[in-house]
Structure 1
Amino acid sequence: MRLVKLLANLGYGSRKEMQTAIRNGWVTDRDGNRLKPDAKTAHEDILFDDEPLDPAQGVVILMNKPVGYTCSVKDQGRLVYDLLPDRYRMRKPVLSTIGRLDKETSGALLFTDDGTFLHKVISPKAEVPKVYEATLDRPMKGDEAALFGSGEMMLESEVKPLKPAGLEIVDETHARLILHEGRYHQVRRMFAATGNHVTALVRSRIGGLSVEGLEEGGWKVLSEEDKALIFASE
């Protein structure tokens, strides 16, 4: 791929702007040599304004999403993309979230520009487990684990029962829920069906990948080893 197109696809600017950047010597190799538009330099050896390039196409990012941010590029208010460098919104292919977390839910959120990888994660056949930590308005009744794990629970206005979900009781108003599907506001609706209300919700893990050690609003590019953890339950 020509250097101008590569830089434009990474969101650094328009092709015209990148032609100017190259002409002005802002794009170099690691030895400080100015690069030409037809340079064959490896991606990892290219610097833009003395900084390494953002990851190439196929990137997967893990974010520890804070409460109050929406998983959208168009909605009003604070968006999860505001926590990434501005140019990430301009990448081609588009950097999309893998699934969503509602505005009032925090925790593990994945982004990628790799459509094949995205569908691999969200495919019902993959059954990638997601772990949620829920804080409840009132004590649990004691029958929630049996109900959630039955494979027969129906949510209001739906015609298909939920897949069995695991429930670990931390204490009477705190629960850890393990889901293998992702329906709209599923955790909140499950507890609402039992007469309870979720006051705080965190997705702490996707497969074997945890947000532990990643500050709220923080993010990181995943290595191949990290990506493999998504499909591991432990």
Structure 2
Amino acid sequence: MKDKPRRDEFKPERSTGFKKKGPRVNEEKEKLKKERKLKTTVYSPHEKSIQKPTYDIKKVISVVKQVKEEEESPVPKVKSSETRLNKFISNAGVCSRREADQLIAEGKIKINGKVVVEMGYKVQSKDRVEYEGKLLKKEKYVYVLLNKPKGFITTTKDPQERKTVMQLVKNACDERIYPVGRLDRNTTGLLLFTNDGEFATKVAHPSSNTQKIYRVELNKPFDEKHEERLRDPKFELEDGSIYLDGLSVNDIDRREIGIELHSGKNRIVRRIFEHFGYQVDVLDRTVLAGLTKKDLPRGKWRYLSEDEMIQLKYLSGLKKKPKKPSRKPKR
């Protein structure tokens, strides 16, 4: 078949109801376009006269944050350098905060040459604090781990002049450090020392749930019935319920036991086994808040590493968990 001849394109006439575009209408449209361009310049790849804008995304984000902070708080925030007087005295290694309150009440503390007896006094960074004529300065924080031997009591001073754990760490530093928590005289194992009062309070407090693992040796085999009762979440002593995080019994003679718990109650491990009629012959703290006795002989001490300090402060709630670096490749 032959192709039919193409007809002329049909062009309908404009209805009389529409108004023809005049020069005035076109001028108004062009004017509007120019105004829009002045307000917002939009990049188009087809317009060669307009260069593609370049942005530093980090700068943009920082500016946005700065503007937002200024809008929310027009008054700039100034980081406070004030410290409570009793805390300042404690940080200087003079005494504990409670003892510092006593010194303040007795009028033994001077600030800038004047006696201060106000308990809530805030020390400024430029203030000169004196005690017994000596200028007090904030000490650097020290953290020491001791593998305590038998026969030493956990205290800073003993009126009966018995051997104390302070004798074992006396050469560790010039700063005044003290034990965090306590171990009985005949209990061996890990014990922390520091002059960081806030850290010591957090770690020793039951709410911090500090992990403790002990190795126990009994005077006779541990009965399976007693083991079953001890594993019961409802197990209680006279001063309340006790929850164990872990319990392991040596099946050979059933005298050696591993026990893990977070409780900070006095003599808790000994009291647990005494409750069932056993005598604890050996009690050794092998793990404390993730710290172990590795390469630390009995009676010796060492400083905590920076990584150990970060971990301990995170576990005690003094520091946020460090974020893991992103694995995404940089563009």
Smaller-chain TM-score bracket: 0.5 to 0.7
Q: 1:229 offset after TM fit, Å? A: 4.6
**Do structure 1's residue 167 and structure 2's residue 247 form an aligned pair?**
yes
**Do structure 1's residue 64 and structure 2's residue 136 form an aligned pair?**
no
| AA in 1 matched with 2:232 | S
Unaligned stretches of 5+ in structure 2?
1-91, 95-138, 317-331
TM-score normalised by length of structure 2: 0.49
> Contact 2:156–2:178 (CA<8 Å) still a contact in 1?
no
Change (3 A) 1:165 1:195: farther
Q: 1:162 offset after TM fit, Å? A: 1.6
Q: 1:151 offset after TM fit, Å? A: 3.2
Q: Show structure 1 runs of 4+ deviating over 6 A.
A: none
> Contact 1:145–1:166 (CA<8 Å) still a contact in 2?
no
Q: Deviations over 1:23-57 (max 9, x none)?
A: xxxxxxxxxxxxxxxxxxxxxxxxxxxxxxxxx62
| AA in 1 matched with 2:165 | V
**Do structure 1's residue 126 and structure 2's residue 211 form an aligned pair?**
no
Which of 78, 100, 123 is equivalent to 2:163? 78
> Contact 1:153–1:161 (CA<8 Å) still a contact in 2?
yes
Task: Give 3-state SS (helix, strand or coil) of 1:81's partner.
Answer: helix
User: C-alpha separation between the residues in 2 aligned to 1:208 and 1:132?
Assistant: 13
Q: Deviations over 1:102-147 (max 9, x none)?
A: 0000000001110111122123232111000001000010134433
What's 2:288 paired with?
206
Which of 267, 284, 287 is equivalent to 1:185? 267
User: C-alpha separation between the residues in 1 aligned to 2:301 and 2:172?
Assistant: 15
Q: 1:226 offset after TM fit, Å? A: 1.8
User: C-alpha separation between the residues in 2 aligned to 1:105 and 1:77?
Assistant: 15
User: C-alpha separation between the residues in 2 aligned to 1:128 and 1:120?
Assistant: 9
Q: 1:182 offset after TM fit, Å? A: 1.5
Change (3 A) 1:145 1:225: farther
| AA in 2 matched with 1:79 | T
User: C-alpha separation between the residues in 2 aligned to 1:184 and 1:122?
Assistant: 12
Which of 247, 256, 278 is equivalent to 1:196? 278
What's 2:221 paired with?
139
| AA in 1 matched with 2:143 | V
User: C-alpha separation between the residues in 2 aligned to 1:203 and 1:228?
Assistant: 22
Query: Considering only CA atoms, is the larger Rg found in Structure 1 or Structure 2?
Result: 2
> Contact 1:128–1:180 (CA<8 Å) still a contact in 2?
yes
Q: 1:58 offset after TM fit, Å? A: 1.7
Unaligned stretches of 5+ in structure 1?
1-8, 12-55
User: C-alpha separation between the residues in 2 aligned to 1:57 and 1:149?
Assistant: 44
Change (3 A) 1:169 1:87: closer
User: C-alpha separation between the residues in 2 aligned to 1:97 and 1:132?
Assistant: 18
User: C-alpha separation between the residues in 1 aligned to 2:211 and 2:153?
Assistant: 22
TM-score normalised by length of structure 1: 0.68
Higher mean displacement: 76-85 or 173-182: 76-85
User: C-alpha separation between the residues in 1 aligned to 2:197 and 2:255?
Assistant: 39
| AA in 2 matched with 1:139 | P
Q: 1:85 offset after TM fit, Å? A: 2.5
| AA in 2 matched with 1:65 | K
Change (3 A) 1:214 1:87: closer
> Contact 1:65–1:108 (CA<8 Å) still a contact in 2?
yes
Q: 1:10 offset after TM fit, Å? A: 7.5
Which of 287, 291, 299 is equivalent to 1:217? 299
Change (3 A) 1:228 1:152: farther
Q: Which has the higher strand share?
A: 1
User: C-alpha separation between the residues in 1 aligned to 2:245 and 2:224?
Assistant: 15
- Equivalenced residue count is 175
Alignment of structure 1 residues 148-167 onto 2, 5 Å: 148-156=230-238, 158=239, 160-167=240-247
Relative contact order, CA 8 A, sep 6+: which one is greater?
1
User: C-alpha separation between the residues in 2 aligned to 1:229 and 1:178?
Assistant: 19
> Contact 1:129–1:207 (CA<8 Å) still a contact in 2?
yes
User: C-alpha separation between the residues in 2 aligned to 1:106 and 1:79?
Assistant: 13
